[in-house]
Amino acid sequence: MTDVTIKLHNSKTRKKEIFAPLDPKNVRMYVCGPTVYDRAHLGNARPVIVFDVLYRLLRHVYGEDHVTYVRNFTDVDDKINATALARKEAGAAGTLEDLVAERSNETISWYLKDMGALGALEPNEMPRATAYITQMIAMIESLIAKGHAYADGAGHVLFSVKSYKDYGHLSGRSVDDMIAGARVEVAHNKRDPMDFVLWKPSTDDLPGWDSPWGRGRPGWHIECSAMSHELLGDSFDIHGGGNDLQFPHHENEIAQSRCAHPEGEFARYWLHNEMLQVEGKKMSKSLGNFFTVRDLLDKGVPGEVIRFVFLSTHYGKPMDWTEKKAKEAEKTLRAIAQVFGGDPQTQEWYIPSAAHTPQEVLDALCNDLNTSLALTLVKKYAKNHEAAKLDASLRLLGFDPDELVAKYNSFGVSAGSNGVVEGVSYHDDGSIPFAASEVLLKASQRLEEERKKAMETKDFSEVDRLKSALLDAGVEVRMSKAGVELLPGADFDASKLEALK
């Protein structure tokens, strides 16, 4: 499908450009991954979901075997060391290096499981910084030899920012502006305040590696430069991450990589997602609105809901996570599930076909990943019961229709105005147990009877009481001329309805 035109907003040029890969048979993308010292918070998940959609789009257009997606793990970091040291002081067995490795492995496992719950595919390559120390040292040696870096004689190596004339081009700021507006570490071993660390010494008790400048460990920025070069080459297509990484991390990556490998372009297209807020405020522990992806999952917020809320806002705009949006997303997913599945005894299930993705959905995603428009189209297909279009669109956006049916099979139960009561059998692994259907059937029938009485007597007190009890039990109540429909939610508690009289 290489005749499809993809347009992406390139942070480097500050405009939307037609995406033309260096090699359509090997489209290459690098995204900065997490520092693995703790659980991923909700903001960490946004770039994962954004670039997962881009990865899926590139695979759709160029072929699954023609896209290489690299996302790293930073497992060399002071925060990891501090966490391991705290464990050691608490009596944990093993050396500090053992505890650092143990913590990194544990956190990486958590991360992959949590991101998988959000529907994210695993990248083709997930390099760990500790596996590329040799390449980092070689790159640093090259920078020194070319006059772009210098050793201070005390175990540090620093990059000379003024040696790279285009420094600041990505973020659009001059070096003088950066010094004035940033918290720049002024140290006696720096030739210039903007110079940054490529290598630093390690004490005997901290993780470290032998190098020409003594036992030490790499600076943060050199890690991504070395790993992307080793896995993707001198030049590759896309580099992505949150806009909080644009300066200094990505700016420093460009300087290092272009100076070490001047024959290459490094990354040709730069994509940055905006930050996340919670209920209109910046997420922070001091405000009590800081939580991890696992916190939400454990509270019963499904991964599909998180993904749906995230994709409802364009990646280039700030995103606000709210409980209201989460509830609306779940309601939409339940409506989608109605298109695909129902009671297998009364109606046929939708059988996925090899339907093509609707052109209008593909156009939306090809237009700088307009996921908000794509989801608007998804809602339209659900409303019109266009199952084939809905199926293909959802899959490209990273939703599994079979999983949606299993989790959100919300045909519920209804009592129509004709007095016929219809029910549904539930999946054993779904959120609604099979045994609850009878309780809901009775409640639906009871509410319909009381509504008919109220229409005659104009006394709706009993209807209101029943609705209140149903809502308290986690059931959405829909009443129309056609009758009553009850839709059990994720927090449905059938026991609260058993005593309903």
Name the binding residues for Zn(2+). 32, 224, 249, 253
* Binding site listing: 32, 224, 249, 253, 285
What whole-number distance in Å separates Cα of residue 417 and Cα of residue 420? 7
Dist CA 216 CA 430 (whole Å): 51
Do residues 273 and 52 make contact, with C-beta atoms less than 8 angstroms apart?
no
Give the annotated binding-site residues for ATP.
Answer: 285
User: Do you find a cis peptide bond into 344, omega within 30 degrees of 0?
Assistant: no
* Helix residue spans in 233-318 (DSSP H): 251-260, 293-298, 303-311
Angstrom distance (rounded) from CA 62 to CA 267:
19
Q: Three-state DSSP class for 487? A: strand
DSSP label of 250: I
Task: Say how many CA atoms lie within 13 Å of 156 toward its Cβ.
Answer: 13
3-state DSSP call for residue 249?
Answer: helix
Angle at 339 between CA 336 and CA 341, to 5 degrees: 105
- Give the residue from 272, 294, 18, 30 showing the smallest Cα distance to 170: 272
Q: Is 316 exposed, middle or buried (0-12, 13-18, 19+ CB in 10 A)?
A: middle
CA pair distance 89, 222, nearest whole angstrom:
31
Question: Are 437 and 426 in contact, with CB atoms under 8 Å apart?
Answer: yes
